[in-house]
Structure 1
Amino acid sequence: MEYADRIRRKLTEALAPERLDVVDESGRHAGHAGARPEGETHFHVTVVSAAFAGRSRIERQRMVYGLLAEEMAERIHALGLTTLTPDEAR
């Protein structure tokens, strides 16, 4: 399974997002540290979920990093995050 698919699956199962965008930005980082020719090393993820309500930006990011710890250890070198509640996304 591709890493983008793994990210989508894990975040969907855990956070039931109203919106989830997973963008592979690896091509923009060719030649940089952690980049691999086959890609899937650098991502930007936008998650809009009610699960973030009442949590700080740092707490939200820790939630996502915790859910994706295995992928981060295996292959993902960089993960940019935008984490919003549904009210913030409007």
Structure 2
Amino acid sequence: MTIKNSIEAKLQSLQPQFLDVVNESHLHNVPKGSESHFRVTVVSDEFDGKMLIARHRMVNKILAAEIAGSIHALVLHTMTREEWFEKSGEKNESPPCLGGSRTTQL
């Protein structure tokens, strides 16, 4: 199972109305085929009434093994159904990479 598939499977516990997991590793200075940088958009009623930090903590807890292992960067967009509809279902883009990696020598 790929890291992406693992993320998708584990986040099903939030019963998402929308889930988009994008491997953005190819945008960074990593070996071809890497699974280290992800952008996750998840829309769930589980986020109702919760502040953004609480939502991120929920996702981080679910993905603890992946974060402790192979994930180097995780961009989270966590929304309620109402927030998603207000944004017209638009996907958020990740911020541009400023360079550098674990393999960059100083």
Structure 1 residues 76 and 36: alpha-carbon distance in aligned structure 2, compared to 1, 3 A threshold:
farther
Cα RMSD for the two superposed structures:
0.9
- Equivalent residue for 2:21? 22
Structure 1: tracts of 5 or more residues without a match: none
Secondary structure in 1 aligned to 2:42?
strand
| Structure 1 length-normalised TM | 0.91
Correspondence list, 1:49-68, <5 A: 49-68=44-63
Shift of 1:38: 3.0
Deviations 1:7-49 (A, max 9, x none): 000001x10000000000001112xxxx444311000000000
Matched residue count: 85
- Equivalent residue for 2:79? 84
- Code of the residue aligned with 1:58 in structure 2: it is I
Higher share in helix: 1
Question: Which residue of 54, 58, 69 corresponds with 2:64?
Answer: 69
- Equivalent residue for 1:7? 7
Consecutive aligned runs of 4 or more in structure 1 exceeding 4 Å deviation: none
Taking only the aligned residue pairs, the percentage that are identical comes to 47
| Structure 2 length-normalised TM | 0.77
Shift of 1:74: 1.2
